[in-house]
Chains A and B, each alone.
Chain A
Amino acid sequence: MVKVTYVAADGTRTTVDAAPGSNVMQTALDNDVDGIVGECGGAMMCATCHCYVDDDWTEKTGERHDGEDDMLDCAADEVKETSRLSCQIKLTEDMDGLIVHLPEEQA
Chain B
Amino acid sequence: MQNVVIIGAGQGGLQAAMSLRQEGFEGAITLIGAEKGLPYQRPPLSKAYLKTGDADALSLRPASFFEKKQITLVDGTHVEAIDRAARRVMAGDRSFDYDHLILATGTRNLRPPIPGAEQALDLRTLDDALRLRNALDRPMRCAVIGGGFIGLEFAAVARALGHEVTLAEAAPRLMARAVSPETSERFLALHRDMGSDIHLGDPVCAVRADGITLKSGTEIQADLVLMAAGVVPNSELAASAGLAVDNGVVVDTRMLTEDPAISALGDCAVFPDPVTGRAVRLESVQAATDHARLIAKRLVKQVDDPYGAVPWFWSDQADCKLQIAGLAAEGDDTILRPDGAVFRFAGDRLSAVETVNDAKTHMQTRKRLAQGPVARAALEAAEFDMAQV
Q: Which residues of A contact B (CB under 8 A)?
A: 26, 29-32, 39-45, 67, 70-71, 73-74, 107
Contact = CB atoms under 8 A, between A and B. Distances in A.
- Which secondary structure dominates chain B's binding surface? helix
A70 B61 contact: no
B181 interface: no
B289 interface: yes
A62 to B, nearest CB: 19
Chain B, interface size category, equals 20 to 34
Contacts of B302: none
B60 A45 contact: no
B129 to A, nearest CB: 14
A78 to B, nearest CB: 16
Contact of A41 (B41, B359, B364): B41
B316 interface: yes
Contact of B363 (A32, A42, A74, A107): A74
A103 to B, nearest CB: 15
A47 B33 CA distance: 28
Contacts of B359: 44, 67, 70-71
B361 to A, nearest CB: 8
A41 B43 contact: yes
Given A41-B41, A41-B44, A45-B314, A71 B61 contact: no
Given A71-B363, A74-B367, A30 B312 contact: no
A32 B312 contact: no
A61 B363 CA distance: 24
Nearest to A47: B363
Interface string B361-374: 01110110000000
A26 B286 CA distance: 19
Contacts of A39: 285-286, 289
Contacts of A73: 360, 363-364, 367
B134 interface: no
Contacts of A71: 359, 363
A31 B363 contact: no
Contacts of A26: 57, 59
Contacts of B58: 41
Interface stretch (B62-70, B73-81, B184-192, B239-247): B62-70
Interface of B: 41, 43-44, 47, 56-62, 64-65, 68, 285-286, 289, 293, 312, 314, 316, 321, 323, 357, 359-360, 362-364, 366-367
5 contacts: A32-B62, A40-B314, A67-B359, A70-B359, A70-B363
A43 B43 contact: yes
A26 B314 CA distance: 20
B366 A43 contact: no
Given A32-B65, A74-B363, 15 more contacts: A29-B59, A29-B60, A30-B56, A30-B59, A32-B61, A32-B64, A40-B314, A43-B47, A43-B314, A43-B316, A45-B323, A73-B363, A73-B367, A74-B366, A74-B367
A45 B357 CA distance: 11
Contacts of B360: 67, 70, 73
Nearest to B15: A39
B179 to A, nearest CB: 16
A32 B68 contact: yes
Contacts of A32: 61-62, 64-65, 68
Contacts of B316: 43
Contacts of B364: 73
Contacts of B366: 74
B304 to A, nearest CB: 20
A31 B62 contact: yes
Nearest to A40: B285
A40 B323 CA distance: 13
A25 B65 CA distance: 15
A99 B367 CA distance: 30
A48 B360 CA distance: 17
Contacts of B321: 44
Contacts of A41: 41, 43-44, 58, 285
Contacts of A107: 293
Contacts of A40: 43, 285, 314
B64 to A, nearest CB: 5
Contacts of A70: 359-360, 362-363
A26 B48 CA distance: 15
A73 B366 CA distance: 11
A26 B56 CA distance: 9
